[in-house]
Amino acid sequence: MGEALKSQSSRTMSLLSQLEKINLGSVLGEADNARYVTSKILHLVQSQEKTRKEMTSKGSTGIEVILSTLENTKDPQTMLNILNILIEVISVGGGRKANILVAKGGTQILLQLLLTASKDSPPNEELMVLLHTLLAKIGPKDKKIGMKARINGAHNISLNLVKQNLQNHRLILPCLQVLRVYSTSSVNAVSLGKNGVVELMFKIIGPFSKKNTSLMKVALDTLAALLKSKTNARRAVDRGYVQVLLTIYVDWHRHDSRHRYMLIRKGVLQCIKSVTNIKLGRKAFIDANGMKILYNTSQECLAVRTLDPLVNTSSLIMRKCFPKNRLPLPTIKSAFHFQLPVIPASGPVAQLYNLPPDVDDVVDESDDNDDAETESEIETENDDKDQHFKNDDIETDINKLKPRQELGRPLEELKMYERFFPELSEKLQECDLVSKEPKPFIPDANLSGPIVVPTAGEEYSAETKQSTKGVALKESNPVLTEEYNRRPAFLELPKKDSVKDSSLHQQNDQRNLSPSCQCLNQEIVKGLDRMSLQSSAKNDQYYSTACVITKESKTSLTTLACSNPCERVSPCGSSLFEGSSVHLGKLCCTGVDSEDEDSRSSSSGEQVMLEVSDVSPVHDCDLYIEMVKTTKSIPEYSEVAYPDYFGHIPPPFKEPILERLYGVQRTKISQDIERLIHQNDIIDRVVYDLDNLSCLVPEEADVLKFNSKFESGNLRKVIQIRKNEYDLILNSDINSNHYHQWFYFEVSGMKTGIGYRFNIINCEKSNSQFNYGMQPLMYSVQEALNSRPCWTRVGTDICYYKNHFSRSSIAAGGQKGKSYYTITFTVTFQHKDDVCYFAYHYPYTYSTLKMHLQKLESMHNPQQIYFRQDVLCETLAGNSCPLVTITAMPESNYYEHICQFRNRPYVFLSARVHPGETNASWVMKGTLEYLMSNNPSAQCLRESYIFKIIPMLNPDGVINGNHRCSLSGEDLNRQWQNPNPDLHPTIYHAKGLLQYLAAIKRLPLVYCDYHGHSRKKNVFMYGCSIKETMWHTNVNAAACDLMEDPCYRVLPKILSQTAPAFCMGSCSFVVEKSKESTARVVVWREIGVQRSYTMESTLCGCDQGKYKGLQIGTRELEEMGAKFCVGLLRLKRMSSPLEYSLPSSLLDIENELMESSCKVTSPTTYVLDEDEPRFLEEVDYSAESNDDQDTELADNVGDYEATNQEDGLSDSDSTRILLS
């Protein structure tokens, strides 16, 4: 057998050798010999796979010899033999062998042969069939085939063959395949269109027929490719072909009952998809009733899973053709106005102020632009450009990268910050707080009780549990009743600039209620009497009164949905305070559900204890109200949201990342399309509107009521679409016309057992973690009354997709034809007539921060903890920006102890520069509570460092419900290079503190700015490194000799080993040009802090470690804040030469860098100019699947997806450096 194979192999080589000699003209009887030899080779190729492999094996000249013979021979039979040989060779090897043929110049030879053969009259049909068959196979692998065919006129030869042989299906089938390949070049497509190719295709395609289905399929594919040319698409529209295509589609849909011809049906849809890329095509589609036709046919296809490609393509077409709607707003500027003290000379805010008053900024002429995004083809074409832009963002100038310590302000001016560092100058010997002798550290349990430091999951210790509070549920509680009688119906809040005495006067609310309302009040009392916060004697100081709500009304004369006859509350309590009132939102008047009442109480009055292990000792309901009174908002809010008053306890159960159901997005889009098709079914009623204060609250029992007029609230307008479906519009950041993401609003008047759909319709980001398992948050007042005051993840059928509301170029930073995006979710409420709140993430208000800081200050042991709270500055609205100093008091007033106290290194922390990133505040809360705890490690940490903390850099943005900006309308984390003291006071003075420390040679050891990340999972850090930045550019040579201390990697590495939510693999230390004005880069470059970080916490959840597959909660976020502190303590120990030496493995960075091949990219749009890259989980969310790619791209699909995975790490501080 082996001998036979060897013989055949040598036979093939012998025949090829003979053929080569014939080409050289050294053999007599060339034509006959060539015909004989090629026929023998053809026989071997057809019968032996080994021969086919030999022809294209490495080092073989077989293909060159064959092509040379084809080029030189005049004998028709030899040509046919050779074409058959080539077809056999590449038909088995697929794309790789076709590439070999292209590389050897095969395309040019075949096109030249086609030109020559076309001159015969009549042309040799067999030769034409084989030539076109071969060209159709290798064409997709030759990117320049369109240009080559155009140059020698081959494309018109194929077209003419089709025209002249319409009935010869065997000949025109490969011709059409070649025309399709030619049409990938837009120039060719236009040229062919001028020669009548579009009209020709419509002669071939037609109604349902079982004959010639393969020809029909090829003709449709060719037509779809041709119609991608706008010129051809216009020609098709002008000749009425849109209507023809729809008629053909319906005909095939009706007759193909067994779904055998799905590819033909999809081919018709692809033609419609191509022609509707232009405005005229979309109009023709609408006029031909295309929306209804495709809607009805796609609904009929839903039951058959194999028809999903038809449903998805129909969905894409309908979404594209859905008439662009104006966002139903008078202006996209914020509903609230704040006049800036200084108008910036340039930038978005300047443009906003310079807009003529009569300009309509909601829509413009760009909204119907033909160049609007038309699905994936355009995105694919722009891939190379995007990559070029992305790489451009990495800073390559070493001189700019090298930190250059600059004070930036005169030393005399910086002395103004000396008062914020009294720990460096005060004569502590004179303080009574320090004993005269050294003292051991003893946790002072009697003075303040332990502060519960949140640690997630099973890490709670027995001691922690002993110190927690229980919630007692009791039928009658005299203390509670007294508290109820004491609390007035309204809590007054003096308006801005008119703060007067606002002490609480004890009154009996019963006297202030009209008699007809007693029934309502008794219902609430039933619920309230059963809830109290049980506390031990040592914890009494944390809660001076029970955290109980007795507010029934929002405003005087508010109508309540009550099952009892009475429906009105008299305007009671209005004389309690001078000025405007601050009050809680209306309470659900059903009280506690009867089944809960029965199960939680008994006639014997026994208490049912509910252990709540996470009750934070720093939440105080009454103190929160006091804090609200001094908070200044632009809308002058007078209401308090219940969740902020009650507080939040993490739920005792795990909340897994939601698994996305197949087809959910498609279903939602289908329901949106029904709005156009069945317009009479749409209610279209405004039920809430900040722009129209006279908008009436719906009186009907089955219409939800909305509210967002409280601190951090954001909801601008609500439109009822269907009975249980509402469109919600978010408010822009003040002095801005975009940044819609953060939401926080109240809903009431619901019924149980009904799924309510909420659509937030003016989002701007191109994708969201809502597509990857994240759920919004809901807080139920009814549940809070049932002793479960917590935010929980809720919602089903959640998805995020592009909608039909157009964004003006003004709103999109000059980009034309952009659309908004929709977040949609469905909620079924547990309690009738509950009051519920929804939020993008766990709210944390400015008043909450002030309350927490005041509680921490009142609870600490001043003999052991040095805690100081200063006002760094006032914001634009007149709110104070707190600055906190925490360290340990010196052991005694001995000289060496005072020296150790003053020489401790500084750690500088900040958070919440972006108001919508509330998770940053929860992480900061964990840090603050750990630093103030009686944990021995915390004491050790305080003895090691002096902490300077600005827990909220953007109070105004937080208060007014902004997502990203301050009142200046600017992203404060882009102002660190040159902050304006009038427009960016918090940044100006925060930088001033750091400049002062640099001036007195007390640079912080660590600077960290806490952020939230909306598009990636886990917690991770961004840092700064010259070497790593250079490694990701083409300037590697300069970086090789660069010496850099890799200490910046130590803290993230420690956290990856100690904090369950932290992921080292997501960390990046690359410096980008677009981030040069962020806190992280400026503090590193100008101040000279090597360990300068942004710590990003996910808004969604984790995909690694202990919390893999879970959504993140406040417990995990606070734990991260505490673990950060533990990491600092370990950093201290590791960097101390007396105690530990740094493990070499931790700093062995160079090899890891050399092996990494990460790509860094930058922001994609003006609107998305953020501190975050796109997340890894790239999907085509425009449809449920990515099945409408052209077939010639099919071979590359795997590669394309792999590239997406690599490139997904785009934007800001984004290189993935994987550490083992």
How far is 642 from 154, CA to CA, in rounded Å? 75
* Cα 421 → chain centroid: 40
Degrees (nearest 5) of the Cα angle 374, 1210, 1029? Answer: 145
Q: Where does the pLDDT of residue 694 fall: very low under 50, low under 70, confident under 90, or very high at 90 and above?
A: confident
Which letter does DSSP use for residue 568 in this model?
A: B
User: What was the pLDDT predicted at 822?
Assistant: 96
> Would the pLDDT of 381 be above 50?
no
* Cα 1191 → chain centroid: 31
Which letter does DSSP use for residue 735 in this model?
A: T
**Cβ neighbours of residue 466 closer than 8 Å, sequence gap 6 or more:** none
User: What was the pLDDT predicted at 724?
Assistant: 96
Output the 3-class SS for 288-338. CCHHHHHHHHHHHHCCCHHHHHHHHHHHHHHHHHCCCECCCCCCCCCCCCC
> Would the pLDDT of 685 be above 80?
yes
Tell me the torsion sign for CA atoms 266, 269, 271, 273.
negative
pLDDT in tens, 194-248: 999 999 999 999 888 888 899 999 999 999 999 999 999 999 999 999 999 999 9
Name the residue type at position 652.
Answer: P
Tell me the torsion sign for CA atoms 388, 392, 398, 403.
negative
Q: Where does the pLDDT of residue 1078 fall: very low under 50, low under 70, confident under 90, or very high at 90 and above?
A: very high
Q: Where does the pLDDT of residue 347 fall: very low under 50, low under 70, confident under 90, or very high at 90 and above?
A: confident
User: What was the pLDDT predicted at 505?
Assistant: 38
User: Regarding predicted confidence, which is higher, 508 or 933?
Assistant: 933
User: What was the pLDDT predicted at 54?
Assistant: 73
User: What was the pLDDT predicted at 186?
Assistant: 86
> Would the pLDDT of 466 be above 80?
no
> Would the pLDDT of 387 be above 50?
no
For 825, the token pair is 């979710």
CB 967 within 8 A of CB 879: no
Lowest mean pLDDT among 177-191, 234-248, 277-291: 177-191
Q: Where does the pLDDT of residue 145 fall: very low under 50, low under 70, confident under 90, or very high at 90 and above?
A: confident
User: What was the pLDDT predicted at 428?
Assistant: 57
How far is 926 from 1118, CA to CA, in rounded Å? 4
User: What was the pLDDT predicted at 942?
Assistant: 96
Lowest mean pLDDT among 22-36, 160-174, 316-330, 763-777: 22-36
User: What was the pLDDT predicted at 388?
Assistant: 40
CB 773 within 8 A of CB 660: yes
CB 1120 within 8 A of CB 1018: no
**For tokens 């301050």, what's the residue?**
966
User: What was the pLDDT predicted at 432?
Assistant: 43
Highest mean pLDDT among 283-287, 463-467, 1038-1042: 283-287
What mean pLDDT comes out for the span 928-955?
A: 96
Nearest to 918 by CA among 726, 714, 639, 1175: 714
CB 989 within 8 A of CB 1093: no
CB 1079 within 8 A of CB 911: no
Query: How many CB atoms sit inside 10 A of residue 274's CB?
Result: 24
Query: What is the spatial order of strands in the sheet that 744-748 belongs to?
Result: 705-707, 744-748, 835-839, 777-780, 791-793
Q: Where does the pLDDT of residue 119 fall: very low under 50, low under 70, confident under 90, or very high at 90 and above?
A: confident
What mean pLDDT comes out for the span 341-357?
A: 83
* Cα 1065 → chain centroid: 19
**Cβ neighbours of residue 579 closer than 8 Å, sequence gap 6 or more:** 492, 493, 494, 495, 498, 499, 500, 502
User: Regarding predicted confidence, which is higher, 801 or 7?
Assistant: 801
Arithmetic mean of pLDDT over the chain = 77
- DSSP for 31-97, written as a single string: HHHHHHHHHHHHHHHHH-HHHHHHHHSTT--HHHHHHHHHHH---HHHHHHHHHHHHHHHHHHTHHH
CB 791 within 8 A of CB 918: no
CB 792 within 8 A of CB 1123: no
Q: Where does the pLDDT of residue 1196 fall: very low under 50, low under 70, confident under 90, or very high at 90 and above?
A: very low
How far is 1154 from 246, CA to CA, in rounded Å? 57
Degrees (nearest 5) of the Cα angle 953, 959, 962? Answer: 80
User: Regarding predicted confidence, which is higher, 161 or 1036?
Assistant: 161
pLDDT in tens, 68-106: 888 888 888 888 988 888 888 887 766 677 788 888 888
Q: Where does the pLDDT of residue 561 fall: very low under 50, low under 70, confident under 90, or very high at 90 and above?
A: very low
Continuous segment of H or E residues that includes residue 381: helix 376-381
Strand ranges, E, within 730-795: 744-748, 755-763, 777-780, 791-793
What mean pLDDT comes out for the span 141-165?
A: 85
Active-site annotation holder among 639, 783, 1086, 1096: 1096
Let me know if 395 is a catalytic residue. no
User: Regarding predicted confidence, which is higher, 211 or 486?
Assistant: 211
The CA R_g of the chain, rounded to the nearest whole Å, is 36
User: Regarding predicted confidence, which is higher, 622 or 545?
Assistant: 622
> Would the pLDDT of 406 be above 80?
no
Q: Where does the pLDDT of residue 252 fall: very low under 50, low under 70, confident under 90, or very high at 90 and above?
A: very high
pLDDT in tens, 708-756: 999 999 999 999 999 999 999 999 999 998 889 999 999 999 999 999 9
> Would the pLDDT of 1125 be above 70?
yes
User: What was the pLDDT predicted at 12?
Assistant: 73
How far is 366 from 360, CA to CA, in rounded Å? 13
pLDDT in tens, 800-856: 999 999 888 887 777 777 899 999 999 999 999 999 999 999 999 999 999 999 999
What mean pLDDT comes out for the span 262-266?
A: 95
> Would the pLDDT of 1187 be above 80?
no
Q: Where does the pLDDT of residue 48 fall: very low under 50, low under 70, confident under 90, or very high at 90 and above?
A: confident
User: What was the pLDDT predicted at 572?
Assistant: 29
pLDDT in tens, 590-632: 333 433 433 333 333 333 222 333 445 678 999 999 999 999 9
How far is 1202 from 1159, CA to CA, in rounded Å? 13
User: What was the pLDDT predicted at 735?
Assistant: 94
For 337, the token pair is 């106005």
